[in-house]
Amino acid sequence: MPEDELVDRCREWAEERSLEIVVVFDGTAPGGLVGERELDKRGIVAGTGREESADDWLIRTASRYAGEQRSYWLVTSDRALRNAAGAAAERTIGGGRFLRELL
């Protein structure tokens, strides 16, 4: 699935559930983005550039959310990432299951 389409489907998925979405890419996000860009009131897309991996970005952000007692869901099939960033997650969804929900 092309990256732009992935972002659009993630936004639609989040909107259907009244959730905010953060879509993180290793390196650049669609459009060559490095950093964060608001998609709309319900979402952010981020490209990590060369400074950190998407996993590191997610771990850092999950830690911040947990410290703020902010609830979040984590989508990943990576066990190490789930252990590092998912401990405080309200819900964790496997990547395969999430993809099936998007399609």
Question: What local confidence, expressed as pLDDT, does residue 1 receive?
Answer: 87
pTM: 0.88
| Reduced 3-state DSSP string for the chain | CCHHHHHHHHHHHHHHCCCCEEEEECECEHHHECEEEEEECCEEEEECECCCCHHHHHHHHHHHHHHCCCCCEEECCCHHHHHHHCCCCCEEECHHHHHHHHC
Question: What local confidence, expressed as pLDDT, does residue 67 receive?
Answer: 95
User: Which positions of the chain have pLDDT values less than 50?
Assistant: none
Domains of the chain: 3-102 (3.40.50)
Question: What local confidence, expressed as pLDDT, does residue 88 receive?
Answer: 93
